[in-house]
Amino acid sequence: MKKHIEGRVWRFADNVDTDQIIPAKYLVTGDRDELAKHAFENVRPEFAEGAKDGDVIVSGGNFGSGSSREHAPRALLGAGITCVIAPSFARIFFRNSINIGLPLIECEIDAADGDILNVDLENGKIANKSTGVEYTFPSLPDFLMKLLDIGLIENTKRKLGTKRSG
């Protein structure tokens, strides 16, 4: 996972639900690249084609509400999204994202479509290069930072290893 991100903004409003991120009819695969082809299809049809590696999402509150589908953060990773910034996240989306290595930042910022952001995950800083405004955010608790870093799969393998040798 990258600790320093420079990316172009896709701006969304409040209460972006996981049905918007990836409509249920595409939930017949877990493949992130396949899912990415349909990300935001109903609400931002230009997203799937237009999203580039390194882009970031800036949203209003309660991002990722609704269904537990891990397909949602997988679709965003598949589309090249490097982090999501919002004042709050729905809890299952939050867990899913951390588990599979998509950084989420709880912070309310002013940013418009196409703005360029500099994000420093380690030191909790965001700079909107397009507006010149800077923001700070509290970093995740150590446990979650570690989980984000190594991923749930590796974390589980280590846990199982400890159990087996113990």
Site mask, another protein, residues 18-57, x = CB under 8 A?
A: -xx--xxx-xxxx-----------xx--------------
Q: Is 138 in the site for another protein (CB under 8 A)?
A: no
Helix (H) or strand (E) holding 135: strand 133-136
Q: Is 157 in the site for another protein (CB under 8 A)?
A: yes
Q: What x-and-dash track marks residues 88-107 binding another protein by CB under 8 A? A: x-xxx--xx--xx-------
Q: Give yes or no for residue 122 binding another protein (CB under 8 A).
A: no
Task: Indicate left, alpha or beta for 67 from its phi (over 0: left) and psi (-120 to 50: alpha).
Answer: beta
Cβ partners under 8 Å of residue 29, min gap 6: 35
46-75: burial string, b at 16+ Cβ within 10 Å, e else = ebbeebeeebbbbbebbbbbbbebbbbbbb
The token pair at 34 is 């396949």
Q: Name the site residues for another protein (rule: CB under 8 A).
A: 15, 17, 19-20, 23-25, 27-30, 42-43, 61-62, 65-71, 74, 88, 90-92, 95-96, 99-100, 141, 143-144, 147, 152-153, 155-157, 159-160, 163
